Amino acid sequence: MSLEPMSPDEVRARLARLQSDDLPTHGGRTLAYVYDGGLADVDRLGREAVAAYAATNGLDPTAFPSVLTLENEVVGRTCDLLDAPASTVGTVTSGGTESVLLAVQGARDARGDLREAGVRPRMVLPSTIHAAFLKAAHYYDVEAVVVPVGADFRADVDAMRAAVEADPHRTVLVAVSAPSYAHGVVDPVAEVAAVAAAHGVRCHVDACIGGWVLPYARRLGRAVPPWTFEVEGVTSISVDLHKYAYAPKGTSVLLHRTPALRRPQYFANADWPGYTMLNTTLQSTKSGGPLAGAWAVLNAIGDDGYLDLTRRVLDGVDTVVAAVRDLDGLALVAPPDSTLLALAADGSCDVFTVADELAELDWLAQPQLTHAGRPPTLHLSLSAATDATGLVAALRTAVAAARERGPVRIDPDVVAFVAALDPATLGDEELDGLLAALGLAAGADGGAPALPERMGEVNALLDLASPRLREALLTAFLDRLARPVRLAPADPAESGG
């Protein structure tokens, strides 16, 4: 069976039809995953640049010197924004997770003494740190020492200090957020960085989501405590361009205060018969497309443009915050320091039903499940393109409908059943059964499952599950989703066990 060529029109039509099932990337109603500046011309320019550079390879800057120039200019722009001293250097990566992975890997590998002694490195993290750090801990075998945050959801300085001082020698990194994804608040960066500096430990600020907002918020006269390289003890910062710089997907910047701090991030290998492999990131061959897209968008928007976009999105946040304060049913979990809101329900409704009702109105909010004894919330990342008045109206309608319906009720037998499940011992058959019971069995055609019309029940059930059980179930779900679409049926006799 062979792959018959499609005509260009067929290719375009098929892609367009497939994309029509996706959430809208523009319009400001998708309040997670995507960020829309609402500037159609800039967007088009960004895409043109991605396309123009799609085939280039950032692997070798001597072969594609223009890619190096674009990277150095984007890094320079980021340095300007984040009060970086002249010594600061950086790297453009594929996204926030890659920036975080490299920050952790570099911190680990800077400590050859620990490696030689066979001692496992550790890093101290507030419990609200992005899960990318836990992925890094997993990949690089760095112990994650997770410290509970205070009642205000910010890193607890005394607890962070105690955690560092419990074993300063083995501590290779301390990290904080500006702001945290889940609650939208900025950690006490200066205080935590001082703790790290006192012990000669690196301090990374994860500003993946706030790094392109907070400096402009400050210029607009809003209260933003110091968190950039202005703070002495900060050694590295990550900022995603594909979030609030409104660049196309696929770029983040990782800055280090000095080249020496960045050095262990680099990988070189000349010990094979091919080219000497020199890599600055996890990727080796690396499209110049996303970088060129980000460069185009940064330059097209400029400082005044970002100031304006930041004013718009923060005005929107103010509008939603004021409305939620007057709204029975939902409450802010913490006053937002940036563009992210976390809302909790008061018992007259639940956040999962509110999310379903919002979806009915074509607004996507992201449920965040119970964690560390704290109730589930609804996450809203506003964009400059978000119509805050429209969002407020939708929230009012959704909450009224959710109160009318009442919270999702789960049968006590099911609650007991879920509580008794041990994720470590669940086999594939049981997982298949559980997924089917949740309405999450994969489609027979290898495509996405027809998800339940309303996700409230699924979310309410997942909310009862432990983090380990959620991981097991959703990993099984993802595994079932990822099945090749074959033209020729493969011989099942040849498949492995």
Ligand X SMILES: *Cc1c(COP(=O)(O)O)cnc(C)c1O
Between 282 and 414, CB nearer to ligand X: 282
Torsion angle in degrees (nearest 10) through CA of 235, 210, 281, 172: 30
Between 201 and 247, CB nearer to ligand X: 247
The two counts, helices (H) then strands (E), for the chain are 17, 13
Amino acid (1-letter code) at residue 412: P
Between 130 and 257, CB nearer to ligand X: 130
CB contact burial 23-33 (16+ within 10 A = b; e otherwise): eeeeebbbbbe
CB of 94 to ligand X, least distance (A): 8
CB of 252 to ligand X, least distance (A): 6
CB of 287 to ligand X, least distance (A): 16
User: CA–CA separation, 465 vs 479, rounded Å?
Assistant: 19
Q: How many residues does the chain have?
A: 497
User: CA–CA separation, 196 vs 307, rounded Å?
Assistant: 32
CB of 209 to ligand X, least distance (A): 3
User: CA–CA separation, 175 vs 122, rounded Å?
Assistant: 12
CB of 135 to ligand X, least distance (A): 9
Find residue 371's DSSP bridge partners.
374
Between 93 and 459, CB nearer to ligand X: 93
CB of 490 to ligand X, least distance (A): 34
CB of 172 to ligand X, least distance (A): 19
CB of 92 to ligand X, least distance (A): 13
Strand 377-381 versus strand 340-345 pairing type = antiparallel
Handedness of CA 260, 261, 264, 268 (dihedral sign): negative
Strand 340-345 versus strand 330-332 pairing type = antiparallel
Between 208 and 461, CB nearer to ligand X: 208
Between 203 and 349, CB nearer to ligand X: 203
CB of 466 to ligand X, least distance (A): 23
CA 143 from chain center: how many Å? 21
Between 78 and 177, CB nearer to ligand X: 177
CB of 234 to ligand X, least distance (A): 15
Write the CB contacts of 410 (distance below 8 Å, at least 6 apart in sequence): 457, 460, 461, 464
User: CA–CA separation, 277 vs 87, rounded Å?
Assistant: 26
Between 102 and 434, CB nearer to ligand X: 102
Q: Determine the 3-state secondary structure of 25 from DSSP.
A: coil
Amino acid (1-letter code) at residue 37: G
CB of 133 to ligand X, least distance (A): 8
User: CA–CA separation, 199 vs 165, rounded Å?
Assistant: 8
Task: Report which DSSP code applies to 287.
Answer: B
Q: Determine the 3-state secondary structure of 172 from DSSP.
A: strand
C-beta nearest to ligand X: residue: 96
CB 49 within 8 A of CB 292: yes
CB 455 within 8 A of CB 352: yes
CB of 136 to ligand X, least distance (A): 11
Between 160 and 209, CB nearer to ligand X: 209
The kind and range of the H/E element at 295 are helix 289-325
Between 100 and 431, CB nearer to ligand X: 100
CB of 183 to ligand X, least distance (A): 11
For 346-483, where are the E strands, in sequence order? 366-368, 377-381
Find residue 331's DSSP bridge partners.
344
What are the angstrom distances between the C-alpha of 307 and each of 43, 77, 150, 314, 418?
A: 17, 15, 32, 11, 49
Between 353 and 386, CB nearer to ligand X: 386
Between 66 and 475, CB nearer to ligand X: 475
CB 456 within 8 A of CB 352: yes
Task: Report which DSSP code applies to 263.
Answer: G
Between 252 and 281, CB nearer to ligand X: 252
Residues that bind ligand X (CB under 6 A): 95-97, 100, 130, 132, 177, 181, 206, 208-209, 240, 252
Number of other CB atoms surrounding residue 491 within 10 Å:
7
